[in-house]
Amino acid sequence: MKLLLVIFVVHAIFIPCFSFDVPGKDLPLTLDYYKSTCPTVFDVIKKEMECIVKEDPRNAAIVIRLHFHDCFVQGCDASVLLDETETLQGEKKASPNINSLKGYEIVDRIKNIIESECPEVVSCADLLTISARDATILVGGPYWDVPVGRKDSKTASYELATTNLPTPEEGLVSIISKFYYQGLSVEDMVALVGAHTIGKAQCRNFRSRIYGDFGVTSALNPVSETYLASLRELCPEISGEGDSNVTAMDNVTPNLFDNSIYHTLLKGEGLLNSDQEMYTSMFGIQTRRIVSKYAEDPVAFFEQFSKSMVKMGNILNSKSLVDGEVRKNCRFVNT
């Protein structure tokens, strides 16, 4: 696999641009899938995402997370976007999603524009995959080519959403197994978790961490003590109080896609237990080494993140490839 590394400037931020051979030659995805049917699709999504992230930088993390939660359930088929109906149980109310996922209206907004230009051509699954790439770039992250040609599923799986998605309090071995199940390696896992360098977490998802072993992993130096005190002020120990209060997972550069999250883990100050486990777990010999590498070498992190996002985006729903569709409205199966 050949790697082309180019540096270019966007808004005075240096953005690495990674171009890879697309893995899996038998995959029905290509870079020019919409060349004749909707040649403006990438430009349309990019332009709208620029507006969306400018309105609120947190929207970048919201879109990336939505893409991740989609691909881990039935593959990248936009099943996560389906609303519940009398005949379909969606994934939005599954425990890993109900208090975590947002951004459905962002997808609706982009889809409406695309449908006005190229009706019934671009799938919601492709839209979400491209948007996640553009979201990453717009907050300082790397560029990568996005293979397209996915179809939208006609089904969703509440059960798989409940079991397949990693949770904030989950142990390292269990999380690794969930990534392996998707065909993703430990290196992929550590790189993809790096997306937590942007975005926020709710109190309900880090309460056990800040009232648990945070003091042990951070060794409670004066800076860590101050940080921990602020977290506890935001998030009371009693369950149910302040559950929806949010704070940045990267408290140093929360709106910039960089390698700061790995420095946070080195200091033992990871907000989520699932993140900190990669560095401090007794089972984390391999993950600890990778975390240290990405903390030291941001280019290595960007390169692997790009590769891993392409790899994750290539997790496909074989059933949808056969009988899938291009939804007119991303929330509902076509009638």
Check the annotation: does 190 bind a ligand. no
Residues of the chain with CATH 1.10.420.10: 170-174+176-308
Residue 330's pLDDT band, with cuts at 50, 70 and 90, is very high
Q: Domain 170-174+176-308 falls in which CATH fold? A: Peroxidase; domain 2 (1.10.420)
CB 23 within 8 A of CB 315: no
Check the annotation: does 197 bind a ligand. yes
Residue 52's pLDDT band, with cuts at 50, 70 and 90, is very high
Residue 192 has pLDDT above 60, yes or no: yes
Q: What is the pLDDT of residues 7-51, one digit of tens each?
A: 333 333 445 655 444 444 456 899 999 999 999 999 999 999 999
Residues of the chain with CATH 1.10.520.10: 38-164+310-321
Mention every residue, 6+ apart, whose C-beta is less than 8 A from residue 255: 57, 58, 139, 198
| Nearest CA among 274, 215, 280, 202 for reference residue 242 | 202
Check the annotation: does 73 bind a ligand. yes
State what percent of residues in the chain have pLDDT above 70. Answer: 92
Cβ burial 227-265 (10 Å sphere, 16+ → b, else e): bbeebeeebeeeeeebeebbbbbbeebbbebbbbbbbbb
Residue 319's pLDDT band, with cuts at 50, 70 and 90, is confident
Q: Taking residues 170-193, report their average pLDDT.
A: 97
Residue 286 has pLDDT above 50, yes or no: yes
pLDDT at 28: 85
Residue 322's pLDDT band, with cuts at 50, 70 and 90, is confident
Check the annotation: does 280 bind a ligand. no
Instruction: Kindly report which listed range (127-131, 316-320, 329-333) carries the lowest average pLDDT score.
Output: 316-320
Residue 143 has pLDDT above 70, yes or no: yes
Check the annotation: does 166 bind a ligand. yes
pLDDT at 220: 77
> Residue 16: beta bridge partners?
7
Residue 329 has pLDDT above 70, yes or no: yes
Residue 277 has pLDDT above 80, yes or no: yes
How far from chain centre, in Å, is Cα 165? 12
pLDDT at 12: 36
Which one is catalytic: 11, 67, 69, 263? 69
More reliable by pLDDT, 245 or 6: 245
pLDDT at 185: 98
pLDDT at 18: 56
pLDDT at 4: 38
Whether 69 is catalytic is yes
Residue 334 has pLDDT above 80, yes or no: yes
Enter the DSSP assignment of 202: E
DSSP for 117-128, written as a single string: HSTTTS-HHHHH
Q: Taking residues 279-299, report their average pLDDT.
A: 97
How far from chain centre, in Å, is Cα 313? 11
Q: Taking residues 67-85, report their average pLDDT.
A: 97
Class of 38-164+310-321 per CATH? mainly alpha
pLDDT at 1: 37
Residue 316's pLDDT band, with cuts at 50, 70 and 90, is very high
Q: What pTM was estimated for this model as a whole? A: 0.91
Check the annotation: does 196 bind a ligand. yes
pLDDT at 23: 43
Residue 267's pLDDT band, with cuts at 50, 70 and 90, is very high
Distances from the Cα of 265 to the Cα of 56, 124, 192, 269, 332, angstroms: 26, 35, 15, 6, 40
